[in-house]
Amino acid sequence: MKYYLQAFSFTFLMYFGLWIMWIHFAIDFASDSDYPGSLVYLPHAARVICTCLFGWIAIPAMVISEWIGISYFVHGDSFLINGTFSFAEFSLSLFSSSSVLLALILLRISGFSFTYSSGMLLLKKSNFRHIFLITVLSACINGLVGNFLRQAVTDHDIHMYTVLRFTVGDIIGTLVVLLVATIMFSAYKDFIFQSSKNKNFMK
């Protein structure tokens, strides 16, 4: 039970934090009034990282964080179906949050080596090539199938350019977050190493 709570809390905080940053700083980047879809969708990085870490356990946390964000921080924006978190919006959020898990399952079916235990579906010896492959595949699933579902539950015709924007936005958003996280982690390690070195020198 403790593991599930920790996984839920970590996923919720990461997804919600990236969602808030996206809403305030990145949603308008290269925006197009005729074709919705952010070209820098930062929360997709949380989908990739948290699903690779925790498997399906991450999905409810991402849906709930998106529901809170849409319900209390967004009102009537064009990327929502009815300007509120309706059942249709919930269905689309659930599918988007599951896109990485679907990508992992497709890769597993295709013969990639995975380990499965305690609800976690992970690549063995994951590296940046694996993460990039998961990111691209999940972005394609979310962009193509997700927009097909959006068109099915609304009266709007989804243009292929919108599909492309969703797909590219998920990829770029994830790469931006991973790049910043890598730089910060590297700087943190250097800081810790330098601090321990200075302490040993003082001794």
Residue 95 confidence (pLDDT): 93
**Cβ–Cβ under 8 Å, residues 142 and 173:** no
Residue 58 confidence (pLDDT): 93
pTM, whole model, 2 decimals? 0.80
Span 161-186, average pLDDT: 88
pLDDT at 102 over 90: yes
pLDDT at 109 over 60: yes
Rg value, the chain, Cα? 18
Q: Using one digit for the tens of pLDDT, what is the confidence trace for 15-40? A: 999 998 888 876 666 565 666 667 88
Span 52-76, average pLDDT: 84
Average pLDDT value for the chain: 79
Q: Using one digit for the tens of pLDDT, what is the confidence trace for 159-170? A: 787 888 889 999
Residues in Cβ contact with 42 at an 8 Å cutoff, skipping those fewer than 6 apart: 18, 19, 21, 22, 26, 173, 176, 177
SS3 content of the chain, % helix, strand, coil (to 5): 70, 5, 25
Residue of 83, 75, 77 lying closest to 28 (CA atoms) = 77
pLDDT at 202 over 70: no
Which of the four pLDDT bands, split at 50, 70 and 90, describes residue 8?
Answer: very high
Residue 23 confidence (pLDDT): 85
CATH number (domain holding residue 81): 1.10.1760
Residue 119 confidence (pLDDT): 45
pLDDT at 156 over 80: no
pLDDT at 100 over 60: yes
pLDDT at 151 over 70: yes
Q: How many domains does the chain have?
A: 1
Which one of 1-10, 65-74, 152-161 scores highest in mean pLDDT?
1-10
pLDDT at 125 over 50: no
**In angstroms, how far apart are the furthest CA atoms of the chain?**
72
Domain ranges, residue 65: 2-202
**Residue 116: CB atoms within 10 Å:** 11
DSSP character at residue 175: H
Residue whose pair of structure tokens reads 């040993």 in the numeric block:
200
